[in-house]
Structure 1
Amino acid sequence: MATLTRVASEPRPFTPEPITDEEAAAMFRAALNLFRLWGVNDDQAAAILDVARRTFARWKAGDVGRLGRDGKARLSNLMGIHKALKIVFSEASRGYAWIKAPNAAFGGRSALDVMLGGELTDLMRVRRYLDAERGGW
């Protein structure tokens, strides 16, 4: 007869910096690849990340430095968007193209148009939509 093993279900204590600077730098490098695959130019990328164009250029050159919570949250949402696109679309190229395609869920605007609003909530809106589409909610 099988026995049940008790699993710890207590929530872990809150940590104010759940994403390390090293993880954020890795996510930034991944985001650069996403921007290239999505056909996003540097001005658009800077708007999505809510940083000055000069700051983005410095980061892109390899001097990422320390990112704040907002920047880390933006990068995390971009990684979530990428993951959801990989699940929803069997062909990567279709997922990359979807970013710029008009979408009725966004009032005929594209996901890129929504993300270019510049607010963290704009990225979250695209991510929530994709998570719902893939059955993650």
Structure 2
Amino acid sequence: MSIASAQNDEDEKLAMARAAAALIARWGVLSETAARLLEGEGRAAAMLGIHRALRCIFVDSDRAARWIGAPNEAFGGVCALDLMLADGLEGMQRVEAYLDAEIAS
């Protein structure tokens, strides 16, 4: 990999992290909780995937933000945010897969 492409990869990761942080803030998540959500490889991309899916399901971004914090039977009565905090990247992938399945149905 060339130095230029490595820099582009880092720039892309930074841009994804910034976009994911802005998204989480729009959901009303506190800063320390947001930091826990975004720490680790692949998490910003997962958060953006969740956002993409929510945009397909909900036109209203406020409704999407409420969905993230509402208890959900699909997650054993736990809200998506708590699932993502408890299970990290695996929880985020589970939320994204659930939303993608909802879109497909």
Q: How many residues align?
A: 99
8 Å CA contact 2:25, 2:34 repeated in 1:
no
Q: TM-score when scaled to structure 2?
A: 0.85
Structure with greater proportional helix content: 2
Name the counterpart of 1:37: 26
Give a deviation string over 1:73-100, Cα, whole Å, max 9, x none.
Answer: 1111101000000000121211111100
2:70 maps to: 101
- In structure 2, the residue corresponding to 1:21 is in which secondary structure? helix
Contact 1:101/1:110 (<8 A) preserved: yes
How far does the alpha carbon of each residue in 1:55-79 deviate from its partner, in whole angstroms, 9 at most, with x for none? Answer: xxxxxxxxxxxxxxx52x1111101
Structure 2: unaligned runs, 5 residues or longer: 1-5
The answer to whether 1:21 aligns with 2:46 is no
Structure 1: which 5+ residue stretches go unaligned? 1-16, 51-69
Note if 1:116 corresponds to 2:105: no
Work out which of the two has the higher radius of gyration on C-alpha atoms and give 1 or 2. 1
Q: Secondary structure at the match of 2:104?
A: coil
Q: 1:125 aligns with which of 94, 102, 105?
A: 94
Q: Deviation at 1:129?
A: 0.6
Identity of aligned residues (%): 43
Tell me the C-alpha RMSD between the 2 structures. 1.8
User: Structure 1-normalised TM-score?
Assistant: 0.66
Report the counterpart of residue 81 of structure 1 in structure 2: 50
Q: Which 4+ runs in 1 deviate beyond 3 A?
A: none
Distance in 1, Cα, partners of 2:89 & 2:57: 23
Give the 3-state SS of the residue equivalent to 1:116 in structure 2.
helix
Q: Cα offset for 1:32?
A: 1.6
For residue 29 of structure 1, report the CA deviation from its aligned partner: 1.1
